[in-house]
Amino acid sequence: MVGIDWQQVVKGIVLLLAALFGVYNKNKNAWHSLKSVYIKVTVASQVIATLFYPWEIYMDDVLEQLLREEEELQFRKFDEETAWQIGCHLVALATNEGLPVAIDISRGDHQLFHAGMKGTSADNDEWIKRKTRVVYRFGHSSFYMGQLLKSKGRSIKENYLLDESDYAPHGGCFPVIVKDTGVVGTITVSGLPQEEDHKLVVRAIREYLAQET
């Protein structure tokens, strides 16, 4: 049976209502307000979704979806040129949408791309380091690990004896997976709510891979 992503359903309903409200009131800033509403309902939609969807099943579906992303978004090769193209694409997305994010792409200990958009600070760079350590430690996206721990009701300290000041199981770092090789690097974004950080990275990778085919 195909699972229903209730979180996305709730988001869609809220966004539609916000759009209709903006049009009805002839609000010139409707779309700006709509974007603000979208970010603010992310957490609320998770809560509302659980009212319609049993928690264990909901979390199982979330984790399965995140693992499918890792299976889907794999590279034939990953080099400096790949990192540059994806990094520039992320910068373009952030610029066009006014997103205050820091962007980092690394292969092992070698940093291949780094950029900080307006509104970021050194704190974002520290978040990037902590998220990246999670991916190299577990071989999964930092968002997956955070959701896995959430499903167990445990912290990374409780489950793996790792200090969260060094390891941040929060969304935004995605493993660079080369087919028939495994994890060779990371692509990380910091600055938005963690789910939005994750989705921005996934979007950039998916669009890059799509234009390769």
Domain check: are 9 and 107 in the same one?
Answer: no
24: how many CB neighbours lie within 10 A of its CB?
9
pLDDT tens profile 15-68: 566 555 554 455 545 545 555 655 655 656 666 655 665 767 888 899 999 999
Is residue 94 in some structural domain? yes
> Can you give the pLDDT at residue 56?
76
Is residue 70 within 8 A of residue 144, CB to CB? The reply is: yes
3-state secondary structure of 189: strand
Domain check: are 38 and 140 in the same one?
Answer: no
Structure tokens at 87: 């990094």
Core vs surface per residue 81-115: b (16+ CB within 10 A) or e: ebbeebbebbbebbeeeebebbbbbbbeeeebbee
> Can you give the pLDDT at residue 70?
97
- pTM score, two decimals? 0.77
Is residue 75 within 8 A of residue 41, CB to CB? The reply is: no
Domain check: are 171 and 118 in the same one?
Answer: yes
Number of H helices, E strands in the chain: 8, 4
Number of independent structural domains in the chain: 2
pLDDT tens profile 58-74: 888 999 999 999 999 99
Is residue 185 in some structural domain? yes
**Which domain range does residue 23 map to?**
1-53
Q: What is the pLDDT along the chain (213 residues), one digit of tens a residue?
A: 344 555 566 556 665 665 555 544 555 455 455 556 556 556 566 666 556 657 678 888 999 999 999 999 999 999 999 999 999 999 999 999 999 999 999 999 999 999 999 999 999 999 999 999 999 999 999 999 999 999 999 999 999 999 999 999 999 999 999 999 999 999 999 999 999 999 999 999 999 999 986
